[in-house]
Amino acid sequence: MKTTLYVLAIVQLAFASTSFADSDKKQTIPDLAMAKQYAKAQLEIEKIRASKTPDWAAASVQFELMLPIVKYIDAKCEMQYDKEIRDALKECTAGHDIETNDEILGKGLQHIAVLAIRQELDLMAADPNNIKPCAERIAAYFEGIRPTFVRRDKGFFEGKKTLEASADEALTQLSKADKSSLLTASMQLEDVIARTYALSMLYEISEIEKMRSSDVALCDGKRTEAKMFYRIIQQRIEKRSPKINEIIVNTLNGSYDTMNSQSLEKDLVTALGFKLR
Amino acid sequence: MRVSAYISKLQWIVLIIVLFVAFIILKPHRTTKADIKVEILNISSSQATIAWLSEKEYKGKVFYESAGNKTAPLSATEAFGNSKKHEVTITGLQSSTRYTYWLDDSKSRFQFQTQPATSTPFSFLIVWGDISDRIVPLMRSELAEFIISLTPPSGQNFDQFSDVRAYVPIYGPSGIDSPFLRAVTGIHQTDSGNLWKLDWGGLRLIFVGEVADTAKITEMLNTPAAHTIGIITSPAMISEFESKKISETALHPILVAHNKQHPAKPAAFVAVIGKDSNNVDVDGVQYFGISSDGKSSGAIRIDVDIESARAVFIDENKEIALKQPPLKQKRTCEECRRLADKGAYEESIKAYLEFIETHKGSYQIDDAYYAIADIFDSKLFEFAKALEWYRRLLNEYPDGTFSPLANQRIKYIAVYSDYDYKPLAQFEHIKAIEYARKKDQPEERSKIFNEVKSLINKYPDSNLAPVMQHWLANQYRLSDPDKAVEAYMALRKNYSGHSEAQEAMVEIGETYYDAGRYKEAITTFKQALNESPALADTIKTQIARAQRNIRRDKIAYACWIVLAITCGIAFLRKPRSVETSRIFWSFVVFVITGVLLSFGAWLIHEQFNSFKEMLLIVFFFSATTGLSTLISMNFTDKLLVKNNHSVLAAVAGTMAGIIFFLAGIYLTIYYVYVHYLIVVKL
């Protein structure tokens, strides 16, 4: 009898520890409050980065608030943004290669937001009951990247709310979606995100075209920015056309003098399957 | 008793009826016959056919617009009269374009994409088994333009594609898979009779059944438009994945004969349904199996491009190349690259030339061409030779991935080719070699700048002159603001109208800002605002920052004055003695505050730029607190002596201490790390 009891106890302990380990590995889906906090902190960091003499200490404070989402995405998408961004912040604080590390910070946070949005879209597709809460979280994440849409509207559409309005419409459709219309709304959102970040990459390349003869140091930062923007859409382009992906990667890694935004735009349109502007 | 027995039986009957009704109402709704929803029946590059069934008769109408473009929607109405079976064909569409559409006054929006042009890449899915829970995520992630389902419709208890039919056409091994057509015609699937073809963009897919006529297969292989041909067949045609056995099948010789005659439009792959997922290349045709055994589910994405095609087994994380560019493999010369990295450029070029000689025609070596061109260009500054190699690259590998870069570099060198590349060669040499090595030595740097000035004076009319002038101004900015301003002004004066000079005033303003000369910066920025209204937002932000910095400096002066006044009143006004006990207590406050702040600072130490900064802030905050306590006590004491109003004296003393404290804190932050002031919006 005693032996039986001991065996049962050991088995129970084993199950308990396994389930504890499993629960430890499970990634809790971030809630709406965390998503809002992420977006708010992201906007604060954007303000800090935009200042002439950025306040890296304040940026680090804000980054700590974003950690739950950063770690969630790192685990889900096998990224290492927690380490990358911390390292970038340390380098910025120490004054090393600020042009480059500042962009890793800013664009890395945007990539995380986009990945978080994709995770939410996957959850929506998996279970229609998730549609409403996921749509709310997506809307929250979007607020953190909205300034990019506004900037691209300013740069490419003379300030007309083209990208921002498309994104808002997609978000509205998502919030009202049911099982049958979910695909439309999610494709709309993914398309406008791809379009915005493709235009963002083009913008940086065109800036390099302007500065490559006079300010190579600034070009380094622009190159990092362009690479980070491309990271956000690379998977989609690589799926569609590995060759175009290779051309873009060669261009981003190559000499500044070989960069041509018009040629890149044609390649992006071919690879994405829709016009950018 | 009898009555109560009857009542009891009645209660049981009522209970059973209620449970039965509840079961009928609440049981999960899964129809054996699929609900008929909107579906895409057919798509080409310029038209799309949408079909659906309705309960009432009416003339169906579809509204559509290009996705992402907010224009007035167009509409298409079905050709026939009122009906419950609706087919609407939309024409006049553009290829490879996504459209949003909706029916009549429905609020549900759907999308479809027209077929791509033959040269445009695209993807499609082959799926099998029950993928109902995955089909929507698959559509989202894999961006398929159509789906081939290997599970026959009769094998499905419900329509697992109901959520995606409104977006893409679905095909099966025997033809189009359409619930609408099944409902309309009463047959399970269109039967295209063992052999049928699907043309999509540059791909022709031929579905070969068990008893297909081989003569007709040959006919179907001849396609003027497609650049890639794929076959989907069954184990009846290809029973074993072994080269010899495949060669002996009826199908293989047909494909080989076709490929010999039409190498630019090869039959690239054969997918065998029902075989294990092996693959083998036989005479340039890739055979691979799809293990759709009815027990499991799975998905393959096929990517088709003009030069290449691949099959990605999504669940197995495996990829098979179905078609590769003419020179299949890329080869690079690692040793050649190492020589270039070490600086042995001439040796590296020789090594690359040998490499090209030995590998030409067998492997893709466009990066060797590019490497040679790049060495001549950016290392040896021999631009004529660089141009020669860039052009060779474009001629021999026009579709290579380095061609766009070569193109761009040719254009760039051409712009600055005046004076036989002499200014370009000298300037690039200065930038890349001399300046890169000596920029941290002030004397050498100055010599280099003078060299550039001489170069500008020697070639004032060259296309490169404004570029050099701009570069010079930018480099001066890092070390000598006045010379930088002078150089920017020269750029404006001598090359006004040139793109390099467009933002010169803004750059002068930024030079003054970086030098801490905020008033001059504001004046310059205001002038730039008039000249460059397009940059108004940027300039106004800069002006605001300069004004903020001036404000900070003024506050700092004011704080010093406040400190001086409070200290003066607290210590110099009679009576001038300071009690030892007060000094002691102030010291105690200093220590306690220091300990508490040190603990707090240690908890958030990552927020500080350095340990020294943390220490300075803790020390001066604590010192300010201690001193403000002493000042507060002395202030109170002096007022008491003078006025004898204890409450008033205490309040005034406390206020003086607080004012001293605030001024001290401000000055600490101002001198240790001024940007923390952003936290309090200063």
Amino acid (one-letter) located at A45: I
- For residue B408, the chain A residues in CB contact (below 8 A) are 257-260, 263
**Quick check: B471 and A214 CB within 8 A?**
yes
Q: Is residue B534 located within the same domain as residue B602?
A: no
Give the tens place of pLDDT for each residue, A153-197. 888 887 778 899 889 989 998 998 887 788 888 988 999 999 999
pLDDT of residue B609: 64
- How many structural domains does chain B have? 5
Give the tens place of pLDDT for each residue, A53-73. 788 988 999 999 999 999 999
- For residue B404, the chain A residues in CB contact (below 8 A) are 247, 251, 258, 260, 263-264, 267
Residue B599 lies inside a defined structural domain of this protein: yes
Token pair listed for B573 = 């006004």
Nearest to B67 among A191, A242, A243 (CB): A191
Q: Is residue B66 located within the same domain as residue B174?
A: yes
Chain B within 8 Å of A94 (Cβ-Cβ)?
A: yes
The crossing angle, in degrees rounded to 10, of helices A182-211 and A98-126 is 170
pLDDT of residue B15: 72
Q: Is the peptide bond before B481 cis (omega within 30 degrees of 0)?
A: no
Residue B506 lies inside a defined structural domain of this protein: yes
Domain boundary among B185, B205, B239: B185
- For residue B67, the chain A residues in CB contact (below 8 A) are 188, 191, 274
Q: Is residue B367 located within the same domain as residue B490?
A: no
Domain boundary among B499, B529, B547: B547
Helix (H, G, I), strand (E, B) or coil at B215: helix
- For residue B470, the chain A residues in CB contact (below 8 A) are 213-214
Phi, then psi, of B55 in degrees rounded to 5: -80, -35
Residue B72 lies inside a defined structural domain of this protein: yes
* ipTM score over 0.85, yes or no: no
Chain B within 8 Å of A236 (Cβ-Cβ)?
A: yes
Q: Is residue B61 located within the same domain as residue B166?
A: yes
Angle at B277 between CA B274 and CA B283, to 5 degrees: 100
Distance (Å) from the alpha carbon of B121 to chain A's nearest alpha carbon:
6
Phi, then psi, of B49 in degrees rounded to 5: -115, 125
Distance (Å) from the alpha carbon of B204 to chain A's nearest alpha carbon:
18
Mean model confidence pLDDT for chain A: 85
- Strands B122-128, B203-208: pairing kind: unpaired
Nearest to A183 among B67, B136, B542 (CB): B136
Closest to B630 measured CA to CA, from B653, B607, B646, B651: B653
Bridge-partner residues for B61, per DSSP?
A: B77
d(CA B500, CA B468): 10
Token pair listed for B83 = 């009906």
Are A148 and B128 within 8 A, CB to CB? no
Chain B within 8 Å of A180 (Cβ-Cβ)?
A: yes
Q: What is the CATH number of the domain that holds B249?
A: 3.30.750
Q: Is residue B224 located within the same domain as residue B181?
A: no
Q: Is residue B226 located within the same domain as residue B287?
A: yes
More confident residue, B583 or A22: B583
- Rg for chain A (alpha carbons), in Å? 22
Distance (Å) from the alpha carbon of B671 to chain A's nearest alpha carbon:
15
Token pair listed for B650 = 């205490």
Nearest to A57 among B96, B408, B607 (CB): B607
Residue B656 lies inside a defined structural domain of this protein: yes
d(CA A211, CA A227): 17
- For residue A176, the chain B residues in CB contact (below 8 A) are 107
- For residue A243, the chain B residues in CB contact (below 8 A) are 305, 307-308, 401
Chain B within 8 Å of A121 (Cβ-Cβ)?
A: yes
Q: Is residue B181 located within the same domain as residue B43?
A: yes
The proportion of chain A whose per-residue pLDDT surpasses 70, expressed as a percent, equals: 89
pLDDT of residue B216: 86
Q: Is residue B582 located within the same domain as residue B665?
A: yes
Chain B within 8 Å of A128 (Cβ-Cβ)?
A: no
Q: Is residue B642 located within the same domain as residue B528?
A: no
Please name the residue of chain A whose CA is at the shortest distance from the CA of residue B674: A55
Point out the residues of chain B with pLDDT beneath 70. 1-12, 14, 20-36, 68-70, 154-157, 187-193, 211-212, 275, 293-295, 326-330, 575, 606-607, 609, 641-644, 679
d(CA B308, CA B326): 9
Nearest to B678 among A58, A60, A190 (CB): A58
pTM of the model: 0.69
d(CA B543, CA B537): 10
- For residue A246, the chain B residues in CB contact (below 8 A) are 401
Q: Is residue B177 located within the same domain as residue B203?
A: no
Q: Is residue B109 located within the same domain as residue B214?
A: no
Q: Domain residues for B258?
A: 195-296+315-323
The crossing angle, in degrees rounded to 10, of helices A182-211 and A216-240 is 150
pLDDT of residue A23: 40
**Quick check: B167 and A183 CB within 8 A?**
yes
Which residue out of A257, A261, A264, A277 would a mutagenesis test of the B interface target, given it has the greatest number of B Cβ atoms within 10 Å? A257
Nearest to A236 among B70, B113, B143 (CB): B143
Q: Is residue B400 located within the same domain as residue B482?
A: no
- For residue A122, the chain B residues in CB contact (below 8 A) are 137, 140
pLDDT of residue B250: 87
Residue corresponding to tokens 């398309």: A191
